[in-house]
A and B are shown apart, each in its own frame.
Chain A
Amino acid sequence: MPINVLVVEDSPTMRQLIIFALKRLRGSRVVEASDGVDGYKKLSQEKFDIIITDINMPVMDGLKLVSLIRKDQTHKEVPIVIITTEGAMEDKQRALALGANAYITKPIQASKVLTTAKELLGIT
């Protein structure tokens, strides 16, 4: 069974970097979404093992998406990683309080994304 990853990010450069990082996660399959609405739509079409999302996005931001996912019984347990430029502690606490499992601040490194995904998926 491949590891299904949903990447919700409006920046194509960031999406490429995240996809590049996850290539080292053997057997992973990445589905891309460019904003929160697109991400939630893709979430309704199939099951994901992990979701990686940006916060600042057009149409629907990442925090709203996290909140919606956590209210949905189907995806309540899916690990969520937030990637954002907001490095302040209150932003991090807010995201974690809404139900995110991990928080990565920009500028990002491919290895950090990979390590966080592995930890949340229980891969050693």
Chain B
Amino acid sequence: MNDKKEPDPTDKTEDILKLFKKGADFTQDLMRQNEKLRYRVVQLREEYKAMTRQSASPDGQAAELRKKIDSLQQEIADFGKRFKEVEKENREFANRYVEIEEENNNLANLYISSFQLHSTLDFKEVLQVIIEIIINLIGAEQFGILLLDEKTNMLQAMATEGIEQELIPPVNIGEGVIGKVAASGESYYVDDPVEHLQTSPLNPIVCIPLKIKDRILGVIVIYKLLEQKKAFANVDYELFTLLAGHAATAIFSSKLYSESERKLSTMQGFINLLTK
């Protein structure tokens, strides 16, 4: 009799199954652990990345800011340059504006003078216009208009302002400052009209010939300027030139007109006498 008990194959199977189960559980546990570790690795990587970013940021921002500052400084420099250019342009425009304004004033004075001189054929009115131009546009206080008396060949004062007409004596052509201007046809100006010492009516500060081509009709003599007028401006010389020509023409025309009117009137009277 054999009391030895044969091992039950079922028990073995169960043991194996248990072993497998344990192995499966272990494997599953390993897998879970693996999963957890993977997740942790990913987390750590992310953290690392974030930390890297953080640690790199101050330098990056500083570089960015430096770049921006450089760019702004360049812009400021450009603006400064442009500002200076515009400022220069503005100054040039302002100067040009002043020049144009002065030119406009001068042209206005010349235009009005010319227009007024030729606005009448009355001899006295022409003389009055010349006087107005000399006072209002040139700024003279004492002056006279001397015309050539063809009978005596002497310059005689025909109109004055600020000085008695009788105080200006007749002047021979070629004699003294006034006579020489009449003889040469060239204008005369003293260097400093304010400081010029006035000694006599034969010693003016300005003497302008009134001429048509080479024919002298008379002269304009200026003795004193208005208190506020300290020196001659460029336009004054242009006005003198205009007066030399246009005033002479206006005087000549008005004289001719007066003479023709007088002759016409005489002839009309004569005709009327004959036809009655």
Chain A residues near B (Cβ < 8 Å): 11-14, 16-17, 20-21, 85, 87-88, 105-111
Contact = CB atoms under 8 A, between A and B. Distances in A.
B228 A14 contact: no
B109 interface: yes
A14 B226 contact: no
A25 to B, nearest CB: 14
Given A13-B112, A85-B136, 8 more contacts: A12-B119, A13-B116, A16-B115, A17-B109, A17-B136, A20-B108, A88-B227, A111-B104
B111 A107 contact: no
B116 A20 contact: no
B141 interface: yes
B194 interface: no
Contacts of A88: 227
A12 B132 contact: yes
Most buried by B among A14, A87, A107, A108: A107
Interface residues of B, number: 24
A84 to B, nearest CB: 10
A85 B135 contact: yes
Contacts of B138: 107
Contacts of A12: 116, 119, 129, 132
Contacts of B139: 106-107
Interface of B: 101, 104-105, 108-109, 111-113, 115-116, 119, 129, 132-133, 135-139, 141, 226-229
A16 B116 contact: yes
B242 to A, nearest CB: 13
Given A11-B132, A13-B136, A110 B108 contact: yes
Contact of B137 (A17, A87, A105, A111): A17
B19 to A, nearest CB: 108
Contacts of A14: 132, 136
A11 B116 CA distance: 11
Nearest to A9: B136
Cβ-closest 8 pairs across A and B: A87-B228, A107-B139, A13-B132, A110-B108, A109-B105, A87-B227, A11-B132, A13-B116
A88 B129 CA distance: 25
A11 B136 contact: yes
Nearest to B106: A109
A109 B98 CA distance: 13
Contacts of B135: 11, 85, 106-107
